[in-house]
Amino acid sequence: MSATVDLFVGKADKLTKNVHSAICKQRQEEPLLLSENGFSTDEQADPKHHGGPDRAVHIYPLEHYSYWQEQYPDHPDFVPGAFGENISLSGMAEEQVCIGDVFQLGQAKVQISQPRSPCFKLNLRFGVPDLALQLQLTGKAGYLLRVLEPGWVAPGDKVSLLTRPWPELTVRMVAWQFFNHPLNPQFLKQLVACDVLSESWKSKARQRLEQGYVEDWSKRLFGFIED
């Protein structure tokens, strides 16, 4: 498995009067240094919920844009980079990749750590009040990477699969079960046992198993997170 990448980074800025975000990414034409916390010139306005070693890079499959363009034919902003991704590519959609997959990305080595949990800033970015929920329901949210070995990455570089330790955990399946069957004990135990899943997702799985209820998603999906 291999694909060619387009790169996007952004600066934190006002998305609305009271909300800051770096979701509006710009296409890059020069190589970028990728390290533990992401690309050197990329920013996050809300480091509690975005960024960090387990969420260093966001990939969004290029194929999804045609779906959103069909859903919103009069909306001009559904173009690569618009969902806040750092990397846009084809042939690596959620059903084609797995938690724990390790890839060579330019000079860097990266690993899929978790599906993306879409948040309300997508709603504000596009002016669609339930867009984050739509991404969650359709499974077209993308996924996040950690950086195993830093290095330079250039537009047009290939990303190539090196190892797949958890072939049963496709990103699409994990996201679908996590959000649609959130208290399935067998699935939650599988997540807890997955040594390469991000700690935030494993922590939620443990909490669900121990307490028997699902965490509140309304703040993330509809905008009650304080920035």
Looking up residue 165, the CATH number of its domain turns out to be 2.40.33.20
Indicate whether 8 belongs to any domain.
Answer: yes
User: What pLDDT does residue 226 have?
Assistant: 38
Give domain status of residue 227, yes or no: no
Q: For the chain, list residues with pLDDT below 70.
A: 14-16, 20, 22, 24, 43-51, 224-227
Beta-strand runs (E) in the chain: 2-4, 6-9, 13-14, 20-21, 26-27, 32-35, 38-39, 57-61, 87-89, 102-105, 108-115, 143-149, 151-153, 158-163
Residue 77 falls inside a structural domain: yes
Q: Could you tell me if residue 67 is inside a domain?
A: yes
The parent domain of residue 71 ranges over 2-222
Question: 60-88, pLDDT tens digit by residue?
Answer: 999 999 999 999 998 888 999 999 999 99
Beta bridge partners, 104, equal: 109, 160
Number of domains in the chain: 1
Q: Is residue 105 part of a domain?
A: yes
Q: Is residue 157 part of a domain?
A: yes
66 alpha-carbon distance from chain centroid: 18
pLDDT value, residue 23: 75
